[in-house]
Amino acid sequence: MNPGLFKLAVVGSRSSWGRLAGIAGGVAVGVCLLLLLWGGANGLSARDERGAWLRETGSPSVSGPAAADDPATSGPGTPVPLTAGTVLMEANPAEVFRDRLIDRRDVAALGTTTVKIPGIGKPPPPGSYYASPALQRLIETTPRDQLGERFGTFAGTIGDAALPGPDSLVVVTGATETELRQHGRATLVSDFTANPYGGSAAAYNTVLCIGAIAVFFPVLLLISIVTGLGAAQRRERYATLRLIGAAPQLVARIAAVETAVPSLAGAVLGVVLAMMLRPAAAQIAVNGTRMFAADLTTGPAAAAAVVAVVVAASALVAGHRTVRAGIGPLGVTRAVHEKTPTAWRIVPLLAGLSAMIAAVLMIRVLEVRLTWLESPLLIGGFLLVLAGLVVIGPWLTRLVSRMGLRRARSAAGVIAASRIQKTPGATFRSVSGLVIAVFVVSVFAGGASVIEATDVPAARAGLLQPTALHATVGAGHTPAQAAETARRAAGLPGIRSATVGYGPAALAERDAGPEIYLRAADAPGLGFEDIPAAETVAVDASFLHYWRTQPLALTPAPATSLDGLVPVVIFVGTDGTPEAMDRARTALNGSGITAIPATSPGDFKLQSSTRLIRGLAVLAYLGMFVAIAIAGLSLAVATASAVLDRKRVLGLMRLMGMPVSVLRRIIVREAAVPLLTVLLLSVGLGFLVAWLMVTFIDDSYRVAWPAPDYFIALGLSLLLALGAVAATFGLIRGTTAVTSTRFE
């Protein structure tokens, strides 16, 4: 191609520079976000790999009768001896400080052990601990009676290579073999696993994949919209080139190159921006911890691939669009009329929903597990729903605009409704980013609402009190030891009561009874109101289950004395302040007699599979921010493009006396009609998809009303839409000014 011709075609005027800058800027933002998201996905994976050793469960430390925590089958068994090639490890699932979960591992090893603990090396000796830097900082800045006394003497910090992120709270404490065997929950570990995700791998990956798609989609839309900027103006210039003898293929090549050049500049700028923003992006906490900046690195190959794909795709699309437009020497010879959208456009959406419903039905109703089919059905279904929204948008928009045109009374109404009816695809495209963003936000908000739905119940007599903690007592401890622990706890600031519950044997043992016995005088401290007139009372052992919703009643104990029973649980009532709660935890966990760390009914929120949802909720809000920001930008670009493409006719209207306020109203209506038409559908579908997703993970979850954040996000979306449209008002005034129209 002649360089002079190319230069003239690409940067022939001042407005060309503006358009090129617009394309480059939009692509830069898109590529930057793509790389950061890609890095984020890499980072999550790297984080899970580093933290894999924390999912090591080991092998039983006793042979013979099985699991020690199953009273029905457990028994004394035969201890499997500790050797130099193994360590005895107890994973504590509920070590909590404030509302954060601490990954605690208690280990006992022989002096000659060869087992290395990731990030530490040789296991810590009894009474000492290794902590992650973040936890050690917490320990050092918190009164010892609230945290430090739980772990013993500081021996060192755990290396970053064994920590999921810089905020990870991990502690490895040294214990004696006797202590751990007494708890009955320790396992033998010879090597720490490197297998990430554990049992929830498939669901986790599936949902993560859906989250990534949901965020990538608006980014791709943005790139597509900016590369089409000023298409009408470009067509005019191409017609001129055709008039002076350029062949259609040459014009298509020029179109491809003139889009590729700013796209390349933008893509390279996007790579640089992503590198610069990586440390800032790493500060965003996902699943409770920030990332190490290095986790977000995608590597030069990935960056080069993104640049190459974006540039090649935008060039190919630009070339193809030009060929399709059929530009001849006298302008566009083949009018590219939009095909009237028909009701068939509902098919992809229905197909997507059907696929997702099929995946959920298969697992939850038919109870058939076909892992090779479940995830593809769910992910494929989600992709189809996303695409289906974009496909159905123009059809719905046209339906509404037809009704609008019949009822239109003003010039702005007639002009806007007529244009929407004739070009529903182009009109909807300008708001499609925002529609997708609202859908994504609704999906994430629906997913996040699961946590709210299963929130801690309010204080109620006959159930565990939200401000109380309890810790089970290990086997072999005397009533005097338990009473002493309760007495010490009761003397701490903020502690209101400390009660020991008794039984025939420790709760983890086979002989543990179905009830817990208490002194009747202590019962009010546990929140009981109707107390039988007896010296000792009994309550069903399921009183300790945090998920219990039916209150339990006290009954008179069969024996009037607690003599002959052993302590099985210690309850501590607090004033509910975080300090008092952590003081109580520290007192109980540091006493040396508890089998399982002290827990409160609210702690379950931090544990098990709800953590996955919580992590995704954080990811969701991140995605929401990205999606809405991109969508707003896309709408501004698309609206500006719509104004530029109609510069001449709108300018003539102004010349004939049409006030600029009417033009503004036209632009606002053209954005508002498609947006409001599909918004309700986006919201409804978002929550439906969220419900399908959470049911896919666990059918005990329920989608509830979203948090206020959701409504704030929705309001923000609409404000952003208004802002994006308002941002083009200056452009309307400038490009349609009578002077610029006259001398165009």
Partner 1 sequence: MSTPDTTAPILSARGLHHSFGQTEALRGIDLDLQAGEVLAVMGPSGSGKSTLLHCLAGVLVPDGGSVSYRPAGRSPEKISALGEPERARLRLADFGFVFQFGQLLPELTAADNVSIPLLLAGTKRPEALRRSTELLERLGLAGLGAKLPGELSGGQAQRVAVARALVTSPAVLFADEPTGSLDSLAAENVLTMMLELVREAGTTVVMITHDARTAAYADREVMVRDGAIGAGYRVPA
- Residues at the site binding partner 1, with contacts judged by CB under 8 A: 335, 408-411, 414-415, 418-419, 421-423, 648-649, 652-659, 662, 738-739, 742-743
In degrees rounded to 5, what are phi and psi of residue 36? -65, -40
- Provide, rounded to whole angstroms, the least separation between the CB of residue 231 and partner 1: 15
Q: Of the two residues 169 and 663, which places its CB atom closer to partner 1 in the complex?
A: 663
Q: CB 655 → partner 1: shortest distance, Å?
A: 6
Measure the CA angle with vertex 93, ends 88 and 96; round to 5°: 120
Question: Whole-number minimum distance, CB 205 to partner 1, in Å?
Answer: 47
DSSP result, 62-111: EESS--TT-TTT----EEPPP-TT-EEEEEEEEEEETTEEEEEEEEE--T
- The minimum distance between CB 642 and partner 1, in angstroms, equals 12
Closest to partner 1 by CB, 14 or 141: 14
With both helix axes pointing from N to C terminus, report the angle between 299-325 and 14-50 in degrees, rounded to the nearest 10.
Answer: 140
Residue 132: partners with Cβ closer than 8 Å, 6 or more residues away: 157, 158, 163, 168, 169, 170, 171
List, in sequence order, every residue forming a beta bridge with 79; answer none if it has no partner. 62
243: three-class secondary structure by DSSP: helix
The residue (of 409 and 708) whose beta carbon lies closer to partner 1 is: 409
Residue among 335 and 458 whose Cβ is closer to partner 1: 335
Give the DSSP H or E segment for 516.
strand 515-519
Least separation, in Å, of the C-beta of 211 and partner 1? 39
Cα distance between residue 536 and residue 210, in whole Å: 56
Q: Helix, strand, or coil here: 736?
A: coil
CB of residue 737 vs partner 1: minimum separation in angstroms?
A: 9
- Give the separation between CA 485 and CA 178, rounded to whole angstroms: 20
Structure tokens, 141: 């800045």
* Interacting residues of 337 by C-beta distance below 8 A, sequence separation 6+: none
CB 254 within 8 A of CB 473: no
Cβ neighbours of 160 (radius 10 Å): 16
Work out how close the CB of 643 gets to partner 1 at its nearest, in angstroms, rounded to a whole number.
14
Q: Which CB atom, from 649 or from 680, has the smaller least distance to partner 1? A: 649
Helix (H, G, I), strand (E, B) or coil at 613: helix
Least distance (Å) between residue 327 CB and partner 1: 17
Nearer to partner 1, 372 or 743 (CB): 743
Q: Is 67 exposed, middle or buried (0-12, 13-18, 19+ CB in 10 A)?
A: middle
Pick the closer one to partner 1 by CB: 372 or 406: 406
Least distance in angstroms from the C-beta of 712 to partner 1: 37
Q: What phi and psi, each to the nearest 5 degrees, are found at residue 685?
A: -65, -35
For partner 1, give the closer residue by CB, 377 or 650.
650
Alpha-carbon distance 455 to 143, whole Å?
Answer: 29
- Nearest distance from residue 426's CB to partner 1, in Å? 11
* Residue placing its CB nearer to partner 1 in the complex, 143 or 659: 659
d(CA 670, CA 674): 7
Shortest Å distance, C-beta 623 to partner 1: 36
Q: What is the smallest separation between the CB atom of 395 and partner 1, expressed in angstroms?
A: 18
Please report how close the Cβ of residue 733 comes to partner 1 at its closest, in angstroms.
10
The DSSP output letter for 151 is T
Q: Which is nearer to partner 1, 386 or 642 (CB)?
A: 642
State residue 541 phi and psi, 5-degree precision: -65, -20
725: Cβ contacts below 8 Å, ≥ 6 apart: 635, 636, 639, 667, 668, 671
Q: Classify 218 in phi/psi space as left (phi over 0), alpha (psi -120 to 50) or beta.
A: alpha
Tell me 520's DSSP state.
G
**How many Å apart are CA 196 and CA 287, to the nearest integer?**
15
Q: Which is nearer to partner 1, 173 or 736 (CB)?
A: 736
CB of 736 to partner 1, least distance (A): 12
| Residue 46 contacts residue 295 (beta carbons within 8 Å) | yes
Tokens describing residue 449: 């609402």
Give the nearer residue to partner 1 in terms of CB position, either 653 or 725. 653
Give the residue with the Cβ less far from partner 1, 21 or 408.
408
- Residue 684's nearest CA partner among 343, 382, 332, 443 is 443
Nearer to partner 1, 521 or 738 (CB): 738
In contact, 441 and 713? CB cutoff 8 Å: yes
Q: Strand 187-189's sheet: what is its strand order?
A: 59-60, 187-189, 87-97, 100-108, 170-174, 128-131, 153-157
The least distance separating partner 1 from the CB of residue 18, rounded to whole angstroms, comes to 21
Nearest approach, Cβ of residue 646 and partner 1 (Å): 9
Taking CA 508 as the corner, what is the angle to CA 502 and CA 512, rounded to the nearest 5 degrees?
50
Distance between CA atoms of residues 303 and 34, nearest Å: 10
Q: How far is the CB of 677 from partner 1 (least distance, A)?
A: 18
Work out how close the CB of 415 gets to partner 1 at its nearest, in angstroms, rounded to a whole number: 6
Tell me whether residue 273 or residue 426 sits nearer to partner 1 (CB atom): 426
Tokens of 350: 């229905």
| Between 319 and 651, CB nearer to partner 1 | 651
Please check whether residue 331 is in contact with residue 236, taking contact to mean a CB–CB distance below 8 angstroms. Answer: yes
Nearer to partner 1, 13 or 700 (CB): 13
What one-character-per-residue DSSP string does 277-296 give?
HHHHHHTS-BTTB---GGGG
Contact call for residues 575 and 467 (beta carbons, < 8 A): yes
Q: Residue 359 or 732: which CB sits closer to partner 1?
A: 732
